[in-house]
Amino acid sequence: LALGTQRPLIQEAICRLDGLPEVSAPILVCNEEHRFLVAEQLRSLDRSDGLILLEPVGRNTAPALALAAHATLAEGEDEILVVMPADQVILDAGAFREAVVTGARLAGQGRLVTFGIVPVCPETGYGYLRKGAPLDGADAFELARFVEKPDRPTAEGYLDSGEYLWNSGIFMMRASHWLEELEAHRPDIAAAVERAWRGGERDEDFYRAAKADFIACPADSIDYAVMEKAGGGVVVPLDADWSDVGSWPALWEICPRDAEGNVTQGDVLAEGVRDSLMISQHRLLAAVGVTDLMIVETADAVLVVHRDHAQRVKDIVQRLKEQGRDEHKVHRTVHRPWGAYERICNGARFQVKRITVKPGASLSLQMHHHRAEHWIVVTGTARVTCGDEVFLLGENESTYIPLGTRHRLENPGSIALEIIEVQSGSYLGEDDIVRFEDRYKRC
């Protein structure tokens, strides 16, 4: 998502070190389900040299960083790693790079470096870092301690004291140093990740950690696993117009607002609305006479939450899980190595999708046990395999794929192929697929 920035946040993070010398190709750690979406972000930036490490399940940041450290050392270099979340906004890139230069010097001296945001208000949604003694010759401090998210009076005291910084979740250290500290303080995580790395396999631009070993790895954060226990930690103050876009109010804070304090995006009509966030992706969003609301409309759901209660969105997510719904985990648009598909609508025994295939790309040769499919070409040219037949379809032409028939969709042209697919059958889940051939090694 491009939230308050010109590019999606993950692209901003990838490019954040541009302009600094001797910066290696990026390493991205993500869940296996997001691999093609992340790969598309690299492709959009023409950064095909990046390595994507795939986790079969999320195990928090400490194991993720350990995977990245192993990947770095496997290339024969014990490099200094800059660890950055992909959901942050840093508007002053120059100030950030200056802080990174300071952090690199300290990490090169064997220090564990974290970056503390110079606070501008008594924020209760962030953890804090207490500064220790200043370091000679560097705009940095010994790291005295980590502090959990405080209540309002405590946060006000932290702000007044000048001794505390917000915990940014950004770190620097040598790859080997991280693994040494992880071995010292969480040997169970260190051992599990090493097994997952050694048992993993390369798959084109991806490296897939061994599933069973990584699932067995305990979950823990960089802070809890190592930083709060290890000695020698330092904190570099960062005053770079930073925001952790982890909530809708945070997004409202960083985006330009109109005279009434509103942030709007998409097809929005507001009358008598103040200090609100209104985002529409598909339909007209109209609001009248409300204040301090976060309203977000997407194709599959609408969220309305008061700004002061945005942290309770997680309670709604939990209820969706308990009810067995999929809105919290399944996107309407799903990226694949060959392109993407968007679920338009579905009902009893039918589903409609818009499928986009990149030029020269191909879906797998496959079949389905429980559904038949109708394909209608909207733009481009399709090469269709249906049973023993192979034929071309142009715009406004269609074909039928019977249940149980081997089939394949390809784009032989130089422009994107777009089709409408109508599925019908007793079961329409994505797991009803048998692959026989696949250039992306998904068989």
pLDDT tens column, 229-274: 998 899 999 999 998 877 888 889 888 899 999 999 999 999 999 9
Task: Give the CATH number for residue 59.
Answer: 3.90.550.10
Do both 116 and 206 map to the same domain? yes
In one-letter notation, the amino acid at residue 335 is H
Residue 2 banded pLDDT, cuts 50, 70, 90: low
Among the residues of 228-305, which ranges form H helices? 248-254
* Cα three-residue angle 105-109-113, rounded to 5 degrees: 65
What integer pLDDT is reported at residue 327 of this predicted model?
81
Tokens of residue 160, six digits: 């007044």
The larger pLDDT score, comparing residue 243 to residue 188, is at 188
Do both 288 and 350 map to the same domain? no
Residue 331 banded pLDDT, cuts 50, 70, 90: confident
Do both 53 and 186 map to the same domain? yes
242 HSE (CA, 13 A, CB side): 31
Percent of the chain's residues with pLDDT above 90: 79
Tell me the three state secondary structure of residue 137.
coil
Residue 288 banded pLDDT, cuts 50, 70, 90: very high
Position 4 in a domain: no
What integer pLDDT is reported at residue 3 of this predicted model?
60
What integer pLDDT is reported at residue 441 of this predicted model?
78
Position 386 in a domain: yes
What pTM, to 2 d.p., does this model score?
0.82
Beta carbons within 10 angstroms of residue 201's beta carbon? 10
Do both 236 and 343 map to the same domain? no
CA distance 171 to 254: 23
In total, the chain counts a number of residues equal to: 443
* Cα three-residue angle 60-185-79, rounded to 5 degrees: 70
The owner of tokens 């997001």 is 34
Kindly report the average pLDDT of the chain as a whole number. 94
Do both 355 and 279 map to the same domain? no
Mean pLDDT, residues 337-351: 93
The contacts of residue 382 (CB under 8 Å, 6+ apart) are 357, 375, 392, 393, 409, 410, 411, 417, 419
Do both 237 and 380 map to the same domain? no
Do both 152 and 219 map to the same domain? yes
Do both 257 and 198 map to the same domain? no
Q: Are strands 417-425 and 371-379 parallel, antiparallel or unpaired?
A: antiparallel
Tokens of residue 265, six digits: 């995006």
Residue 376, H or E segment: strand 371-379
Position 326 in a domain: no
In one-letter notation, the amino acid at residue 219 is A
Tokens of residue 251, six digits: 């997004």
Query: CA separation (Å) from 32 to 35, 66, 93, 327, 391?
Result: 5, 17, 30, 19, 34
Tokens of residue 377, six digits: 């070409």
Do both 212 and 288 map to the same domain? no
CA distance 293 to 295: 6
Asked if 100 and 80 count as a contact pair (C-beta separation under 8 A), the reply is: no
CA distance 182 to 175: 11
Mean pLDDT, residues 42-58: 92
Of 241, 297, 289, whose CA–CA distance to 264 is shortest? 297
Mean pLDDT, residues 60-65: 98
Q: Are strands 293-297 and 277-280 parallel, antiparallel or unpaired?
A: parallel
CA distance 176 to 172: 12
Position 128 in a domain: yes
In one-letter notation, the amino acid at residue 360 is G
Task: Give the CATH number for residue 409.
Answer: 2.60.120.10
Position 328 in a domain: no
CA distance 71 to 76: 9
Do both 93 and 229 map to the same domain? yes
Do both 371 and 411 map to the same domain? yes
CA distance 118 to 168: 10
Do both 292 and 367 map to the same domain? no
DSSP 126: S
425 bridge partner residues: 371
Position 321 in a domain: no
What is the domain range of residue 355? 333-437
What integer pLDDT is reported at residue 1 of this predicted model?
56
Q: Tell me how many domains the chain contains.
A: 3
Position 442 in a domain: no
Weakest mean pLDDT among 22-26, 34-38, 98-102: 34-38
Tokens of residue 71, six digits: 């990947």
